[in-house]
Amino acid sequence: MTEQQAPPGVIPYVEHHTGERRVLTLHLTSGNSMLTAKNPPVVSIDGRQYLVYWGSVSFEVPADRAVHVSVHIEAERIGQAASALLPPGESLALTYSTDFMSGNGSLR
């Protein structure tokens, strides 16, 4: 079987997986310009962490099984964390947002 190639502009899935794949687009927002200037978000896909930029980022993920996704901010400590277990299926888009006052993050 030949190795699947991620579409241009999509971060490839690097773990071993021979099944179908889909694209997960994350819209990463904070609502706090001071936070975004200093602290980029960290996205984890099935435990592998990616230091990314604020805005929209697309990842290739398995389509034929569940995928764990989490996003957090690292400053003096890890905060604004949110995670989701995505069921098998089609490509999808989620929005990560933070509430600076409460320190909570959400992924919907």
Question: At 42, which CATH number?
Answer: 2.60.40
As for how many domains the chain has, the answer is: 1
The per-residue pLDDT for range 85-106, each reduced to its tens digit, is: 999 999 999 999 987 777 789 9
What's 31's DSSP letter? Answer: S
- Nearest CA to 107 out of 26, 41, 50 is that of 26
Q: pTM for the full model?
A: 0.88
Structural domain harbouring 51: 13-107
Q: What is the DSSP string of 42-93?
A: EEEETTEEEE--SEEEEEEEESSS-EEEEEEEESSSEEEEEEEEEPS-S-EE
Q: Does position 76 have pLDDT exceeding 80, yes or no?
A: no
Q: What is the pLDDT of residue 1?
A: 32
In a domain? residue 4: no
The per-residue pLDDT for range 4-60, each reduced to its tens digit, is: 677 789 999 999 999 999 999 999 998 766 666 688 999 999 999 999 999 999 999
